[in-house]
Amino acid sequence: MAACKRFLLPFGLFGLIFVIQILSYRRDISQENRGMMHVQFLLCLLCILFLFLVKTRILVLFASLHFTASERIHQLQELRKQLILEDLSQSKLKNFIVDDKHGIIYCYIPKVACTNWKRVLYALNQGEPYPDLVSIKSSTVHKQFKFTLLNDYSRTEIKAKLRHYTKFLFVRDPFVRLVSAYRDKFLHNDPYFYENYGRNMLRLYNNQPDPPKTEKAFRLGIRPSFYNFIQYLLDPQTERSAPFEPHWRQMHRLCHPCLIEYDFIGHQETLQDDAQELLKMLKLEDSITFPSAYENVTDRDFLLNWFRAAPLEDRRKLYELYEQDFRLFGYRRPSELLDD
């Protein structure tokens, strides 16, 4: 308000002078005085121009104040994210692999090229010359080798590493990822997953009060259907006993993209190109060759064939369950599955 008063006072004064000069100009028409009046007239115009610049400066000041307010909002949002991050339990950071030597943090998501990216982190851990990634067994990176995880560190160290290290993850179409998890863990006869999840699915959703033990079930080809798997995911009782198993837990719940600012988010659908781009970012493109991967199938018929047995209402409920993954990572809503 004070700035406005300081501006209006001289503006009014010079405006008054301008009017007086115009009136004087009309009364005094001698050639000599008319020349002097021209000079005074120009001086008044210059004064008005100067005041206009002052006014513009004030507007710039107001704009800068608005920008500062936006910055303050941004700072508050960042503080809020840090406070929420501090409240995360250590167990929720166990999918973050840390490579201190190269300053890398990788949040791995099961069924999204995580075997090959674990091979990359394993090779980096072994040192140069790096081993051929294809020669590294999946059992080595999934079971035998103990990676350093983010939750191995103190809270202070976690915050420092998240601030300074290069952080990346890879994501995938959420429904295609579910199909991949089902095929890998139930069609391929995984004893652990049948015993801990499959038998319960058969009991609850396949009208089998006493499903056979693992060996007999595999011998007879007994397994839960994909729709049984969907029923299991939609059942409110499922997560009341325990959180979703990581192979089908929502991606944002594993890697917390709303709290952590990732430097790179790659996609399974463009894996080879994204992997090469990331290796360049990490300055490893001349040292590491990312393994060739199978083609990721996401066409309409692929999903329609898998979801055919699921009623429309259940498909919509499943989409709601994974909607945040679709939206956060830029995947389209599968209208061919969800619309009448």
pLDDT in tens, 224-246: 999 999 999 999 999 998 999 99
Q: What's the whole-model pTM score? A: 0.76
The pLDDT tens digits for 324-333 are 999 999 999 9
pLDDT at 137: 94
**pLDDT-derived band at 285, boundaries 50, 70, 90:** very high
Q: Collect all residues with Cβ–Cβ distance below 8 Å to 176 and sequence separation of at least 6.
A: 268, 296, 297, 298, 302, 303
pLDDT at 65: 53
pLDDT at 166: 98
Distance CA 338, CA 340 (A): 7
**pLDDT-derived band at 130, boundaries 50, 70, 90:** confident
pLDDT at 171: 98
Residue whose token pair is 């190269």 = 102
Rg for the chain, CA atoms, rounded:
33
The pLDDT tens digits for 72-117 are 665 666 666 666 666 677 778 999 999 999 999 999 999 999 999 9
**pLDDT-derived band at 2, boundaries 50, 70, 90:** very low
Q: How far is residue 183 from each of residues 221, 224, 261, measured CA to CA in Å? A: 14, 11, 32
Q: Collect all residues with Cβ–Cβ distance below 8 Å to 174 and sequence separation of at least 6.
A: 250, 251, 322, 325, 326, 331
Mean pLDDT across the chain: 84
The pLDDT tens digits for 253-262 are 999 999 999 9
Is pLDDT of 208 > 90? Answer: yes
pLDDT at 296: 63
Per-residue tokens: 220: 């007879």
Residue 253 burial (CB < 10 Å; 0-12/13-18/19+)?
A: middle
> Mean pLDDT over residues 288-298, rounded?
75
Distance CA 149, CA 142 (A): 13
pLDDT at 5: 46
> Mean pLDDT over residues 265-278, rounded?
96
